[in-house]
Amino acid sequence: MADPIVAQRFKALVLPHLSSAFNLARWLTRNDHDAQDVVQEAYLRAYKFFPGFRGEDPRSWLLAIVRNTFYTWYQQNRGQASATVFDEEIHSAETAAPHPHDNPEAMLIRSESQKRVHQALQALPLEFREVVMLRELEELSYKQIAAVVGIPMGTVMSRLGRGRQLLAKLLAPMDQEA
C-alpha cells in the first residue's frame, strides 16, 4: 500500500503537469492513442520513483520521464508504429476561439496556416522536433530542456537553432504561395 503522504505530494507536484506530459508525448508519438499509453507508463514510473525525487522542478523531471518512456516505447514498437498522423485540428484539446470580428475567410486562412506549421513541425527530425516543441510550445528554458533531454545547454541551443532553420525552410515554399 502506498504512503498517503507520498501520494498526496505526488498529486500536488506532478499531476498538474499532465497536459504538458501529454503534449510532449503527442508530439513525439504523433498519435493520441500512443501518447496516452506513453503518458500512462510515464506516470507509473514517476510514481514508483517519486519517493526519491529531490528536485526543484517537478515539470522538467516528469517531462524527462515522459521522453525516456517514449524512447523505450519507440524501441519496442518501431516496426509496429501506427500510421495515424497527429492532426492538431482533430486532436487538440485547446482550439483557439475565433475572434468576434473575423470573417470566414480570415478564419480559414488562420486554420490553414496553423495546419501548415504543425505539418512542418511533424516533418522535423525527432531530435529537433522535441527541443523546438519544448521551447516554443511548452515554454521551457534552455536549462530545463537540457535537463529533460539529457544534453548540455549548448547542444540545446544548437539543436534549437538548427530546428528553427529547418522549420523556416519547410515553411518557406508555403509562405511563397500565400
- The CATH number of whichever domain residue 125 belongs to comes to 1.10.10.10
The pLDDT score that the predictor gives to residue 122 is 87
Asked if residue 170 and residue 124 are part of one domain, the reply reads yes
Q: Quote the number of domains for the chain.
A: 2
Write out the residue range of the structural domain in which residue 10 sits: 1-82
Confidence check: pLDDT of 85 > 90 = no
Asked if residue 178 and residue 113 are part of one domain, the reply reads yes
Going by pLDDT thresholds of 50, 70 and 90, the confidence category of residue 174 is low
- Give the type of residue at 40: Q
CA neighbours closer than 13 Å in the CB half-sphere of residue 28: 30
The Cα–Cα gap between 83 and 171 comes to 23
Asked if residue 172 and residue 130 are part of one domain, the reply reads yes
Residue 71 CB contacts under 8 Å (≥ 6 apart), including other chains: none
Asked if residue 129 and residue 176 are part of one domain, the reply reads yes
Report pLDDT digits (tens) over 38-66: 999 999 999 999 988 887 899 999 999 99
Asked if residue 127 and residue 66 are part of one domain, the reply reads no
- pTM confidence score: 0.73
The pLDDT score that the predictor gives to residue 54 is 85
Residue 138 in domain? yes
3-state DSSP call for residue 139? Answer: coil
Q: What is the CATH number of the domain that holds 39?
A: 1.10.1740.10
- Give the type of residue at 20: S
Report pLDDT digits (tens) over 116-125: 888 888 889 9
Distance of CA 112 to the CA centre of its chain: 21
The domain boundary residue, chosen from 48, 82, 116: 82
3-state DSSP call for residue 98? Answer: coil
Residue 95 in domain? no
Asked if residue 76 and residue 108 are part of one domain, the reply reads no
Asked if residue 133 and residue 70 are part of one domain, the reply reads no
Inter-residue contact 63 to 141 (CB < 8 Å): no
Distance of CA 68 to the CA centre of its chain: 13
The pLDDT score that the predictor gives to residue 118 is 82
Residue 152 in domain? yes
- In the chain, what is the straight-line distance between the N-terminal and C-terminal CA atoms, in Å? 60
Asked if residue 73 and residue 4 are part of one domain, the reply reads yes
Asked if residue 11 and residue 46 are part of one domain, the reply reads yes
Report pLDDT digits (tens) over 139-165: 999 999 999 999 999 999 999 999 999
Residue 65 in domain? yes
Residue 133 in domain? yes
In the chain, % of residues over pLDDT 90:
57
Q: Which is more confidently placed, 8 or 88?
A: 8
The Cα–Cα gap between 119 and 116 comes to 5
Going by pLDDT thresholds of 50, 70 and 90, the confidence category of residue 106 is low
Asked if residue 157 and residue 107 are part of one domain, the reply reads yes
Going by pLDDT thresholds of 50, 70 and 90, the confidence category of residue 6 is confident
Question: What number of other Cβ atoms are within 10 A of residue 114's Cβ?
Answer: 15
The Cα–Cα gap between 123 and 39 comes to 22
